[in-house]
Amino acid sequence: MKLKKSFVAAVSLLSVVPLASFAALSEDDFVEAAWMTTRFFGAQRSGQGPNWVLDGTKHTTSFLKDSYNGKDVSGGWFDCGDHVMYGQSQGYASYILALSYAEFRQGFYDLYTGDYTDYKSSNDYTRKGGKPNGVRDLLEELRYEADFWSKAAISSSAFVTVKGDGNADHKKWVTAGMMSTLGSGEGGDPRSITGNANDAFTPGMASAMLAVMARVDPDSANKKKYLEAAKTAYSYAKSHKGVTNSGNFYSSEWWDGRWKDGPFLAALELYRTTKDEKYKTEADEWYFDLQFSSGSYTRLNYSNAVPLSVVMAEGVFNWAPASGALYDAEQFLDNIYKKKTKDGVFMGETGGSGSFSVRSPAGGAFLYALMSKFWNEDKHDKIIEKNVAYLLGDNSNKKSYVVGFTRNGASAPKSPHHRGYYANEDPGREVDSGLQPPEKNKLLGGLIAGDFNSGSHSGTVSNWQVNEVCVDMNAPLVGALGYILSKKAPVTMEGEEEEEEEEQDTVDVIRHMPAASGLKLFQNGSSVTLSGMNDGAFDVRVFDLRGKTVQSFAEARGSLSFVFPSKGVFQVRVSNQKMNRTFVVKSL
């Protein structure tokens, strides 16, 4: 979006001004947290790897025999602390990370080499042991996943959504490399591969991720490969519906019908990358049919991507939700997050064991960060940092929820439910047999599910309800950290191409607004007429892209006509005690 991005460039000199601090967390603390939580994805690598937590073990590669109808589909990320690859959560996580890289790129650093040879040669797996190699670390982690999705997108009728069997996988508490040798009955090779599920959500999310990578990866060969795979995955998504049902591990019922976000986001990102109008038309068709109502009452997670779709639709197309009482992204997010805060922390759907509490502050921080980037606003920056800081130990119990993050005296979890962390290759050892990790693995960087009701961490490894670590939980936190650092300490890398600017589309939000109230906006060049303000007196405020009020009209009734002060994109907010709507309009 040209206008928004050009404004960011104009204020780049201001981006070094520190944000208000909530936790006495220094700039370096945020850098440390971003480094750890990003490198966590390297501990999730299946296949040839390398996977840094397996360094020093006898089996440093895993599941090299993964194939579907003779096609190699090895690689990708394990979804959590086990070794099954569930694409349902993995596709969601990979898209969030790719999107974060695209939008907050200057907040992601180059602190290590993507094959981890720097750590091996220095025998130092702390941040100091890494060596820059000219590629941002997150991009290297994303490439590993994108290469897998490129293999998983076999054709419009074959797409791999799951690798392995959850029941067999959970029998032995060993590393991925060791488990590969145990045979399929105990989670090893050869593994069952699901390549023909009636699933549109997973290939949709994978397509969205690949489309972003085809836009942001500086390597021309990668761009071509990723775009071709993105189109193939989207083709599969369009000819299927629903989401893969993996029983007790990932039940399709958890999505409650919210599967169309996958193909919608795929169409949106394919449009952003190719500028082909057919993808915008298809995105419009998908978007109008999303489950806005159910998606507005629960936080962002792999089974509810509706809040993400709402932010992306407004940020890219200026579309608003097609149903319900929430008319722009900010109101949509506020209903889920800001209305359910405690001391500024997003506490909706949080609590004790089993609630996976960390998803609320992490997901909320990421969504507000994404929205802030699109609209060039900083009014949410304090609450974004507040929620990230909470997860890093700025809370009454000084509990960090990131494995290995102990800055400012925070107590970090030491018993994550993660097989690779303990480097155990003895199939006879049980999960709670007193296993201890190698020193190098203690900085795992995984965000645990958490327990916000307890003052201390659980030391029971098998307690997955609290100690589970998953790619879908880390991804929004990495994104939020990238946003914070892009404002606090942005880094521009030599030779990196400038992101291609996009033209701002003329607004068409009325088509997506419920017509019940009769409120309408008509535009003719720079002139605007609001009609249908018949239910009392309305306040009308016009904001520029900085969030600054440029025009204000009080006690408007019936209709109101006015002229924008200049060319550009503006938000027109119309509100009274009964209604609050926002139109986003381009003044010509």
pLDDT of residue 252 exceeding 70, the answer is: yes
504, part of any domain: no
What is the Cα–Cα distance from 67 to 127, expressed in whole angstroms? 36
**Tokens 């591990």 — which residue?**
249
484 with 516, same domain: the answer is no
Judge whether residue 578 has pLDDT over 70: no
Based on the fold, state whether residues 399 and 438 are members of the same structural domain: yes
Tokens at residue 227, please?
Answer: 């775009």
Beta bridge partners of 267: none
| pLDDT of 568 | 77
**Number of domain units in the chain:** 2
Quick one: tokens of 285? 């068709």
Residues 473 and 536 grouped into a single domain: no
18, pLDDT greater than 70: no
Instruction: Look at residue 503 and tell me if it is in a domain.
Output: no
Query: Which amino acid is present at 138?
Result: L
Tell which of 488, 523, 550 closes a domain. 488
Per the domain annotation, does 104 fall within a domain? yes
Of 574, 543, 573, 572, nearest to 558 (Cα)?
A: 574
pLDDT grade for 4, boundaries at 50, 70 and 90: very low
Is the model's pLDDT at 562 over the cut of 80? Answer: yes
Least confidently predicted of 50-59, 89-98, 274-283, 537-546? 537-546
pLDDT in tens, 285-318: 999 899 999 999 999 999 999 999 999 999 999 8
In this predicted model, which residue has the larger pLDDT, 17 or 466? Answer: 466
CATH of the domain at 26: 1.50.10.10
Q: What are the pLDDT digits (tens) for 99-158?
A: 999 999 999 999 999 999 999 999 999 999 999 999 999 999 999 999 999 999 999 999
pLDDT digits (tens, 9 = 90+) for 70-85: 999 999 999 999 999 9
Report d(CA 117, CA 588) in Å as an integer: 54
Residue 575: exposed, middle, or buried by beta-carbon count in 10 A (0-12, 13-18, 19+)? middle
Helices marked H in 239-322 — which ranges?
261-274, 277-287, 292-295, 306-312
Q: Please report the pLDDT score of residue 535 as a whole number.
A: 77
Which of 83, 240, 417, 457 is an active site residue? 417
Are residues 525 and 382 part of one domain? Answer: no
Omega within 30 of 0 (cis) for the link into 321: no
Give the residue-averaged pLDDT of 406-427.
97
Task: Classify residue 535 as exposed, middle or buried by CB count within 10 Å of its CB (0-12, 13-18, 19+).
Answer: middle
- Percentage of the chain surpassing pLDDT 70? 90
Q: Confidence band (pLDDT; 50, 70, 90) for 518?
A: low
Q: Is 455 part of any domain?
A: yes
Is 82 one of the catalytic residues? yes
Determine the pLDDT at residue 510: 34
**Same-domain check for residues 431 and 463:** yes
Average pLDDT across the chain, whole number: 90
Contact predicate 535/576, CB 8 Å: yes
Q: Note whether residue 494 is domain-resident.
A: no
- What is the biggest distance separating any 2 CA atoms in the chain, rounded to whole angstroms? 77
User: Alpha-carbon dihedral of residues 228, 229, 233, 238, nearest 10 degrees?
Assistant: 0
521 and 477 in a common domain? no
Residue 168 has pLDDT above 80, yes or no: yes
C-alpha distance from residue 89 to each of 250, 251, 295, 533 (Å): 9, 12, 17, 44
Give the domain range for residue 581.
Answer: 510-587
Q: Is 535 left (phi over 0), alpha (psi -120 to 50) or beta?
A: beta
Q: What is the DSSP string of 62-90?
A: B-TT-EETTEE----B-SSSSS-EEHHHH
Among residues 457, 488, 519, which one ends one of the domains? Answer: 488
Which CATH number do you get for residue 541?
Answer: 2.60.40.3080
Asked if the model's pLDDT at residue 381 lies above 70, the reply is yes
391: in domain? yes
CA distance 197 to 372: 37
How far is 177 from 419, CA to CA, in rounded Å?
Answer: 11
pLDDT in tens, 226-243: 999 999 999 999 999 999
Residue type, 319: W
- Whether residue 452 sits in one domain with residue 517: no
pTM for the predicted model, two decimal places: 0.84
493 in a structural domain: no
The reported pLDDT for the residue numbered 11 is: 29
Give the C-alpha distances (Å, rounded to integers) separating 578 from 553, 575, 584.
17, 8, 20
**Is the domain of 461 the same as that of 561?**
no
Per-residue pLDDT, 498: 53
Both 361 and 444 in a single domain? yes
pLDDT score of 531: 86
Mean pLDDT over residues 460-480, rounded?
98
Residue 432 catalytic? no
Is the model's pLDDT at 15 over the cut of 70? Answer: no
463 vs 322: which has the higher pLDDT:
463
Mean pLDDT computed over 562-585? 78
| Together in a domain, 204 and 95 | yes
Q: Mark whether 402 and 532 lie in a shared domain.
A: no
Give the Cα separation of 523 and 567 in Å (integer): 13
- Asked, for residue 215, whether it belongs to a domain, the answer is yes
| Residue where a domain terminates, one of 430, 457, 488 | 488
Give the CA distances from residue 517 to residues 445, 513, 553, 581, in Å, rounded to whole numbers and listed in that order: 49, 10, 20, 11
Asked if 144 and 202 sit in the same domain, the reply is: yes
Active-site residue (options: 82, 381, 451, 544): 82
Mean predicted confidence (pLDDT) in 176-201 = 97
